[in-house]
Amino acid sequence: MNIAEKALTLISLEGKVALVTGAASGIGRGIAGRLAEMGATVVLLDIDEKKGAEAAAEIIRKGGRAGFVKCDVRSDADCRRTADGAGLEFGRIDILCNNAGVAIRKNCLDLEEEEWDRAVDIMLKGVYLLSRRVIPHMIKAGGGSIINTGSGWSLKGGPDAVSYCAAKGGILNMTRAMAIDHGRHNIRVNCVCPGDVDTPMLRGECLQLGENMDAFMKDAATRPIARVGTPEDVANAVLFLAGNLSTWVTGTHLVVDGGGIA
């Protein structure tokens, strides 16, 4: 094997099966596309059937292997059906990217109880529900990699985002606990913590806050690497954590934010 072939082996996901939640748009769509480019068969999960199917079709048009499954990560029945369906169809699940999220920009006084429940159920409970259904399939396959999407606000607080900060902080420590529990199964569990990434969700936050879009995006780019992130920036970090370059990396987090919290 020459140097080029060995390098390709280190980053290749050929033969792997990956599940990505929140994959209809934004960071999730970027992750799904990157994993497919590196050879994985990717199952895109989302509640948005139209955009999810479009994202899967785009991967297929580019020569990748992908399919879409409607899955509400707040539903254990959906998570069980999705995991068992993928396990039955492909015979294995190697990679799980728990990425589904929602940003409700309100403080503790303004946030309604149902908004708290929605945020925590999608982001924190969703990681629990889908992971518990996927992990048995990873054990059967001899191991796997779980990558949870946290945030820079997993590590520090942020304004008018109490439910988001609570859920993302919980995801980070849940990642550590899962890594401890499942290392004996050869399952690695890590967390990627993005800063502001140019996605529909980020722009939706601007609208919630009633701010000027140009000023909001300019402020979001105020960091050592003076730009807002892209879904591909985060996807490249996920690729590292998913594959052979990180086989002794577990229970940790990788901040991808252009130096925003440096």
Please choose, from the candidates 164, 134, 163, the residue with its C-alpha nearest in 3D space to the C-alpha of residue 146. Answer: 134
In the chain the first and final C-alpha atoms are separated, in Å, by 40
Please tell me the distance from the alpha carbon of residue 166 to that of residue 7, in angstroms, as a whole number.
39
- Looking at residue 128, its pLDDT comes to 98
User: Is the model's pLDDT at 105 over the cut of 90?
Assistant: yes
User: Is the model's pLDDT at 7 over the cut of 90?
Assistant: no
| 145 phi, psi to nearest 5 deg | -135, 125
Alpha-carbon torsion, ordered 228, 230, 233, 238, to 10 deg: 120
Residue 8 banded pLDDT, cuts 50, 70, 90: confident
- Looking at residue 1, its pLDDT comes to 79
Please tell me the distance from the alpha carbon of residue 190 to that of residue 148, in angstroms, as a whole number.
6
128 as an active site residue: the answer is: no
- Looking at residue 72, its pLDDT comes to 98
- Looking at residue 261, its pLDDT comes to 96
What would the pLDDT profile of 204-227 be if each residue is shown by its tens digit?
999 999 999 999 999 999 999 999
Report yes or no on 242 lying in a domain: yes
Number of domains in the chain: 1
Tokens describing residue 164: 């988001």
Whole domain around residue 226: which residue ranges?
3-255
Report yes or no on 200 lying in a domain: yes
What would the pLDDT profile of 137-174 be if each residue is shown by its tens digit?
999 999 999 999 999 999 999 999 999 999 999 999 99
Active-site residue, selected from the candidate residues 99, 164, 170, 206: 164
What would the pLDDT profile of 228-242 be if each residue is shown by its tens digit?
999 999 999 999 999
Helix (H, G, I), strand (E, B) or coil at 66: strand
The gap from C-alpha 128 to its chain's centroid, in whole angstroms, comes to: 13
Report yes or no on 9 lying in a domain: yes
Report yes or no on 143 lying in a domain: yes
Report yes or no on 261 lying in a domain: no
Report yes or no on 140 lying in a domain: yes
Kindly report whether the global pTM for this prediction surpasses the value 0.85. yes
The CATH number of the domain where 222 resides is what? 3.40.50.720
Report yes or no on 262 lying in a domain: no
Report yes or no on 15 lying in a domain: yes
DSSP-assigned states of every residue in 180-228:
HHHGGGTEEEEEEEE--B-SHHHHHHHHHHT--HHHHHHHHT-SSS-S-
